[in-house]
Structure 1
């Protein structure tokens, strides 16, 4: 009975508007009897991130052609709107971009600026090639003091390069020579402005420079992405 009586007393203290004992009781029992709305979503996302990509290829005359920016995340989400339990494949770019940005945030500002630049250099024959791994790592290590964070970022950078190479080759149906991507950040209007037509916060982007394309070891991967993109974009696919 004593436990029940104590529980009723504390509960009443929190619910009666002007209870004299409320302040004293709150200090000791608030962690157990009160909650905030974010208990249902402790890490509410204020900004939506989306991946966009751009590729380059050679035409029949050997000239370098640059494609338009492709909204990879927009294509994925277009295929699952209104579906309560979508396939995991519809979040490929969101998951990949999120993992990449986590690693990007762990390096110094100088290293971040370098990562936003190209990873391509001139070769001895006057063409272009990827900067060798050891040279790239050495250059980045000079700009910060956490080599492990650099290695983690560059490994995922290579993964994104391979992923977007396959995505680009399936999309354009031609060999891709270079790829680059950008993260687009979209912060929705605050709750009080949720019905406003005017955007409260402008879109912003972070662009990561050109990488030498990484052709897939297994050509059948392109066929897989080709099928997925047909499902993503349908008749709107170029």
Structure 2
């Protein structure tokens, strides 16, 4: 008799817990996608961001105050050594197209399919904050010697940077260089000597011209960056990246030749 009474109580307890968890999730999701307000302070500290990222992160907001209105591109090329001791410059590879191929028509696309877009977006944003003098410097080549990054940083520090834009840019450039290094090694193999990459954005046709059949998309907005030495992150697996990246049919890697 007691055992029969226990089961309904257990079911009710499980149901209450499940409803509480569901309610918290819905509330947290609302706070995350809603415009920023004091209501977020209901959840203390950084608990909200830790809960939402990376599993439940959303790439849009309620009322879409800034809807996506453009495409980002990330192109990579390299200088490779040749059997006769010379060097050869490769063609450009659009890494964003390669990665998007991993998600196109896929029911469960990998989260990594937007990696190149994220790299391009971050680099473009931090580059825009630089002064014209700083932009001219990052367009130069810095790849010779083990101190190429230090020399670039030292040159950039010669010009005023009241808003601290340079440090943010250098962080994003480091990420971009390491990503470009992995792309280059995956596509052209161990003969890669240095890399160059270009992040760019192209806006869509303006909304006011949406019905104009002759309307054209605005020009591409590139981020000119010079040649850079290869760069590697700790615990970075070039082999695993190559297996993932080269699985796309839009690129032919050295392992397939």
**Normalising to structure 1: TM-score of the pair?**
0.69
**Distance change (3 Å), C-alpha of 1:195 and 1:81:** farther
Residue 131 of structure 1: how far off its partner (Å): 4.6
Name which of 101, 108, 114 aligns with 1:91: 114
Q: Equivalent residue for 1:49?
A: 72
Checking the alignment, whether the CA contact within 8 Å between 1:76 and 1:90 is kept in structure 2 is: yes
Equivalent-residue separation in structure 1 for 2:151 and 2:247 (angstroms): 41
Equivalent-residue separation in structure 1 for 2:211 and 2:146 (angstroms): 46
Equivalent-residue separation in structure 1 for 2:176 and 2:78 (angstroms): 13
Equivalent-residue separation in structure 1 for 2:188 and 2:128 (angstroms): 32
Number of residue pairs the alignment of both structures matches: 192
Checking the alignment, whether the CA contact within 8 Å between 1:54 and 1:68 is kept in structure 2 is: yes
Secondary structure of 2:172's aligned partner: helix
Q: Equivalent residue for 2:153?
A: 137
Checking the alignment, whether the CA contact within 8 Å between 2:185 and 2:192 is kept in structure 1 is: yes
Checking the alignment, whether the CA contact within 8 Å between 1:54 and 1:66 is kept in structure 2 is: yes
Checking the alignment, whether the CA contact within 8 Å between 2:141 and 2:227 is kept in structure 1 is: yes
1:228 is aligned to 2:244:
yes
1:66 is aligned to 2:66:
no
The superposition leaves residues 133-192 of structure 1 with CA deviations (integer Å, 9 ceiling, x where unpaired) of: 443222111222248432232233222212211221111123311111112322222344
Equivalent-residue separation in structure 1 for 2:246 and 2:148 (angstroms): 36
**Normalising to structure 2: TM-score of the pair?**
0.65
Checking the alignment, whether the CA contact within 8 Å between 2:75 and 2:95 is kept in structure 1 is: yes
Residue 217 of structure 1: how far off its partner (Å): 6.3
Q: Equivalent residue for 1:168?
A: 184
Gaps of 5+ in 1: 1-37, 121-127
The superposition leaves residues 205-232 of structure 1 with CA deviations (integer Å, 9 ceiling, x where unpaired) of: 23211001125666x8222122112332
Q: Equivalent residue for 2:252?
A: 237
Gaps of 5+ in 2: 1-60
